[in-house]
Chains A and B, each alone.
Chain A
Amino acid sequence: MGPFIEVVLGGLLAGVLYSLVALGFVLIFKASGVFNFAQGAMVLFAALSLVRLMGDDVGMGHYVGAAAATGLAAGFLVLMGWRRARPQTPMPAQARWTVLIALAALGSALAALHGAKGWSGWVAVPAAAAIMGFLAVAIERLVLRPLVNQEPIILFMSTIGIAFFIDGFAQTIWGSEIYTLDLGIPKDPMFLLESAFEGGILVNQLDIFAAVMAGVLVVVLAVFFQKTRIGRALRAVADDHQAAQSVGIPLNQIWIIVWTVAGFVALAAGIVWGSKLGVQFSIAQVALKALPVLILGGLTSVPGAIIGGLMIGTGEKLAEVYLSPFIGGGIENWFAYVLALFVLLFRPQGLFGERIIERI
């Protein structure tokens, strides 16, 4: 019994990682109707940015750039706070630019003083988050805005282009070796339930951390979608771009918000994946593994992404242990897909997706 439970538990915890990646997909699909193939590339970019900012062998330019980005992001937060506090009197344009430039300059100066020693996680994680925010703005400006009201398939293909671009861009500026990421998350294996089984069950503390983080993310996102004004606007946009625009929802802002949040989720996934396996190009490929999770759980369901991830993780581990002796190794490359395909044949909208009603 012990080994079996260990396999299942190992699968569940591996599934959490899939869920984290799938979550980013679901977010963007739910809020903008775009099937974002670039989510894996975003995970890679986030993880690479983070690990290279913490490393000590990157050129000064990168630190200064990242610091400027963080400063700008802080500036935006200040402006947002201002608008919240005094909705009636918007800050004059000149003051706005002054704040932004000042904060960016301040950040750059700090980075230059701090030198190319590598930052601690407390600075590097927000900086990486700021970079993801800028990526979101760039994607919205350069790709999504010109493609408003295009068919979903065109948007999907454009995200394949984005994925290729980010893959190349990330490796060009940050390098393409394998980097170890150490944020001080405990990684030691530990034993659970020693009283119940002989020898207990071996789990990794990092996996537990990942599971807790995924849980927190899901709760936060669920609240964000269901309870906030922005969440409602997001859902409206997902239903129909034109209709949402016509009732005065600012499409561009919404898209930036959603892609930024997806960038944060990518960063979270990048932290966990990177801590576990090291940051390297294959992270972007791992995202392909999240696709079956997605169709299993349904494209529009946040809980679906989590449960789908757990199912795929468990199924994969079980198949690896109990099935591959019979049909040869390496089946984890396609097992998840075939499992998902099988489910689709019976439930075309996935396990938790919204039912498709065909009308004419």
Chain B
Amino acid sequence: MERTRPIGDVLLQVDDISLSFGGVQALSGVSFDIRRHEIRAIIGPNGAGKSSMLNVINGFYHPQQGRITFKGQTRRRMRPHETSSQGIARTFQNIALFRGMSTLDNIMTGRLLKMHRNFLWQALWWGPAEREEIEHREHVERIIDFLEIQSIRKVPVGQLPYGLQKRVELGRALAAEPELLLLDEPMAGMNVEEKEDMCRFILDVNDEFGTTIALIEHDMGVVMDLSDRVVVLDYGRKIADGSPDAVRGDQKVIDAYLGVSH
């Protein structure tokens, strides 16, 4: 595949991450890196700790042990809203849209971080506040065009079918103009056509905006097609890391998926 933006240096480095809930060890000593402009897949059987890994990266869970280095800086313990202001956005395995709001409002919410006019201007809705709103509206409309969801702009998202909701959620994450985009099973529960659409969107996001993407996906065909590198987790441990082809041939990975006893 031709790339307009070559894969660059390391954007995010996780080192020796361990996370447990009570007695359950969700992650133990996991390390890997994500490079600028690449699509990095995280795969593994159910319960392998993939979603926990994403939650750690965006600050929703706090690992008991380990280091996270983002954009060259080792990060202190952060709340999710702090990581998102640093440029990490994500979508969720179970759709987490704001169901009472329209598509447009949901995506505009994704841009809240970029809006700065204070309270008084907003109360007056005049001058700078209105200009700011329009400026961001233009950006959001570009995303709406990009995702081809113009016709549902003003529909409350609670009324949309599943596939479109997933697309709106991607739009909301994109609105924040993230440097690192985390996608938690973006294609779960979709039919083949919807999957193809979503794949194309992910590739376009990566290519046009240069966004670095880490994604969790169960559909191996998709993973092998999309990703530059794959990391495989099983029982909270990393068992393989490398190019799709290398990982596919790895005996440990095959065992993990086929369920060889440990």
Residues of chain A at the chain B interface (Cβ within 8 Å): 360
Contacts and interface: CB of A to CB of B under 8 A. Distances in A.
B201 interface: no
Interface string B84-102: 0000000010101000000
B60 interface: yes
B55 interface: yes
Interface of B: 55, 60, 92, 94, 96
Nearest to B184: A360
Contacts of A360: 55, 60, 92, 94, 96
A288 to B, nearest CB: 31
A74 B92 CA distance: 54
A360 B93 CA distance: 8
Contacts of B96: 360
A360 B92 CA distance: 7
5 contacts: A360-B55, A360-B60, A360-B92, A360-B94, A360-B96
A360 B185 CA distance: 13
A207 B92 CA distance: 55
A36 to B, nearest CB: 26
A137 to B, nearest CB: 33
A360 B96 CA distance: 8
A360 B55 CA distance: 9
A360 to B, nearest CB: 6
Contacts of B60: 360
A308 B61 CA distance: 32
A79 B96 CA distance: 48
A360 B182 CA distance: 14
Contacts of B55: 360
B16 to A, nearest CB: 24
Nearest to A357: B21
A349 to B, nearest CB: 16
A360 B60 CA distance: 9
A360 B54 CA distance: 11
A48 to B, nearest CB: 41
A243 to B, nearest CB: 15
Nearest to B60: A360
A360 B90 CA distance: 12
5 shortest interchain CB distances as A-B pairs: A360-B92, A360-B96, A360-B60, A360-B55, A360-B94
Nearest to B80: A360
A360 B97 CA distance: 12
B255 to A, nearest CB: 29
A360 B94 CA distance: 7
Nearest to A358: B60
A90 to B, nearest CB: 42
B177 to A, nearest CB: 22
B92 to A, nearest CB: 6
B199 to A, nearest CB: 24
A242 B175 CA distance: 35
Contacts of B92: 360
Nearest to B96: A360
Nearest to B21: A357
B209 to A, nearest CB: 25
A360 B59 CA distance: 13
A167 to B, nearest CB: 32
Nearest to B54: A360
A242 to B, nearest CB: 15
B23 to A, nearest CB: 14
Contacts of B94: 360
A161 B138 CA distance: 45
Nearest to B92: A360
A354 to B, nearest CB: 14
